[in-house]
C-alpha cells in the first residue's frame, strides 16, 4: 500500500520533537506507514526524525518555503501545525507577530493551492481562548480570551474552520514532560520549577490560577489516534477538542508536587495572587506610557 504523507509544521519545537520521536520509534499504529517531513524556522539543531524524512525551512509569516515542500514532498495527507509564538509576554510585546504567526493563513493558503482539498489539518490551540472565570470549560463555551496569545489562537480557530474542510483543533492546557533531544529556548514549566528549587531559591507561584496540565506523550497519543481514525474512516472531520490532564491544579500545587517528588523544602514556594502581579505590570505599563 502506498504510504501517505505527514507534515509537521514546527517540528523542532517541544511538541513537534516529541511527535517526531514517537514516529521514529514506530509508534502510532498506522502512522508508521507515513512518509514524514517537518519544517523549522529557527536554525536547525539536532533532532531525531524518522529515517529518510525531509526537512524544510518555512516562514509562516510570508509563506516562504512552502513551494519547496510542493516540489520535493508534494501534497501532504495530514498536517500537524505545532508552530506558534506561544510565550504570552512575547505576544503582548509584538501582537502583529503573534497574529501573523499564530493564524496559519499562509499554511492554509498553500494547502488550498492543491486541486485535492482533502488534507487533514491538526492544529494546536490553547485553553487560554477562555476567559478563565470558571473551571472545566466545555468546547461549546464562548471563547473570551484575556490576552493577545489567546486572541491570536481564537482568530486561528475561526480562520481554519472557515477555510478548511478537514480539521482537528486541540485546545491544550500546559504541556509538561521530559526535555527534548534538542533543548527548546522556551522555558518548560516542570524543568523551570525544578531548576529554581534545586538552587534553594524562593520562588513565587500563583495560588489563584488553575490549569489542567497534560503530559506531552498523552497529547501525542491523542494526535496519533485522531490521525488514525481519520485515515481509516475516510470521513470528514471537523473537530474542536479540549485537551487537558485529569487534575485541576494551581501553580502553587504544581510547584509543591515537584518539591515533594524531588525532596525540596516547601518553604521555598511562596504563594502570591495573580491579580496582584497583574496590578504591578499595569502600573509599570502606565508609567512607561506617561514618561516615555
pLDDT of residue 53: 81
User: Are 272 and 286 within one domain?
Assistant: yes
> DSSP 3-state assignment of 91?
helix
| Continuous segment of H or E residues that includes residue 141 | none
Count of other CB atoms within 10 angstroms of residue 66: 21
Residue that has been written with the C-alpha cell 480562520 in this structure: 159
User: Are 78 and 217 within one domain?
Assistant: yes
pLDDT of residue 275: 72
241, 139 Cβ separation under 8 angstroms: yes
User: Are 152 and 261 within one domain?
Assistant: no
Whole-number Å distance between alpha carbons of 208 and 125: 23
pLDDT of residue 286: 44
The pairing of strands 249-250 and 210-211 is antiparallel
pLDDT of residue 55: 92
Count of other CB atoms within 10 angstroms of residue 185: 8
Give this prediction's pTM: 0.89
pLDDT of residue 234: 84
Domain containing residue 261: CATH number? 3.90.25
User: Are 95 and 71 within one domain?
Assistant: yes
User: Are 267 and 159 within one domain?
Assistant: no
Residue that has been written with the C-alpha cell 505527514 in this structure: 6
User: Are 162 and 27 within one domain?
Assistant: yes
Whole-number Å distance between alpha carbons of 163 and 112: 8
Helix, strand, coil percentages, rounded to 5, for the chain: 45, 20, 40
DSSP string, 193-251: HHHHHHTT--EEEESS-EE--EEHHHHHHHHHHHHHHHHHH----EEEEEE--S--EEH
User: Are 127 and 202 within one domain?
Assistant: no
Average pLDDT per consecutive 10 residues, the chain (292 residues; last block may be shorter): 88 93 72 83 63 86 96 96 94 96 97 92 97 92 95 98 97 94 85 95 92 96 95 92 94 96 96 70 44 48
User: Are 50 and 114 within one domain?
Assistant: yes
pLDDT of residue 2: 72
User: Are 55 and 101 within one domain?
Assistant: yes
Count: domains in the chain: 2
pLDDT of residue 291: 47
User: Are 200 and 285 within one domain?
Assistant: yes
pLDDT of residue 92: 94
* Residue 70 CA to its chain's centroid (Å): 25
pLDDT of residue 282: 45
Domain containing residue 59: CATH number? 3.40.50.720
Radius of gyration of the chain (CA): 20
User: Are 190 and 93 within one domain?
Assistant: no
Domain that holds residue 93: 4-174+212-246
User: Are 159 and 65 within one domain?
Assistant: yes
Length of the chain: 292
Amino acid at each position: 500500500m502506498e504510504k501517505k504523507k505527514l507534515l509537521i509544521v514546527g517540528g523542532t519545537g517541544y511538541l513537534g520533537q516529541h511527535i517526531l520521536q514517537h514516529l521514529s520509534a514506530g509508534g502510532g499504529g498506522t502512522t508508521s506507514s507515513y512518509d514524514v517531513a517537518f519544517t523549522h524556522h529557527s536554525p536547525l539543531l539536532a533532532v531525531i526524525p524518522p529515517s529518510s524524512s525531509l526537512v524544510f525551512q518555512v516562514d509562516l509569516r510570508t509563506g516562504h518555503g512552502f513551494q519547496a515542500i510542493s516540489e520535493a514532498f508534494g501534497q501532504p495527507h495530514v498536517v500537524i501545525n505545532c508552530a506558534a509564538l506561544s510565550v504570552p509576554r512575547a505576544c503582548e510585546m509584538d501582537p502583529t507577530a503573534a497574529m501573523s504567526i499564530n493564524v496559519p493563513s499562509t499554511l492554509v493558503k498553500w494547502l488550498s493551492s492543491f486541486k485535492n482539498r482533502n488534507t487533514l489539518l491538526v492544529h494546536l490551540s490553547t485553553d487560554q481562548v477562555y476567559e478563565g472565570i470558571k473551571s472545566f470549560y466545555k468546547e461549546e463555551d464562548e471563547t473570551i480570551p484575556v490576552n493577545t496569545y489567546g486572541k491570536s489562537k481564537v482568530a486561528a480557530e475561526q480562520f481554519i474552520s472557515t477555510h478548511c474542510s478537514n480539521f482537528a483543533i486541540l485546545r491544550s492546557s500546559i504541556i509538561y514532560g521530559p526535555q527534548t533531544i534538542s533543548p527548546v529556548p522556551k522555558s518548560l514549566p516542570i524543568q523551570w520549577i525544578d531548576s529554581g528549587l534545586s538552587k534553594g531559591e524562593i520562588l513565587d507561584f500563583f495560588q489563584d490560577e488553575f490549569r489542567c496540565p497534560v503530559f506531552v506523550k498523552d497529547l501525542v497519543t491523542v494526535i496519533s489516534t485522531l490521525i488514525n481514525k481519520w485515515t481509516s474512516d475516510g470521513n470528514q472531520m471537523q473537530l474542536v477538542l479540549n485537551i487537558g490532564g485529569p487534575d485541576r491544579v494551581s501553580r502553587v500545587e504544581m510547584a509543591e508536587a515537584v518539591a515533594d517528588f524531588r525532596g525540596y523544602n516547601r518553604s521555598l514556594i511562596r504563594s502570591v495572587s495573580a491579580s496582584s502581579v497583574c496590578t504591578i505590570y499595569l502600573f509599570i505599563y502606565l508609567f512607561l506610557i506617561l514618561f516615555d
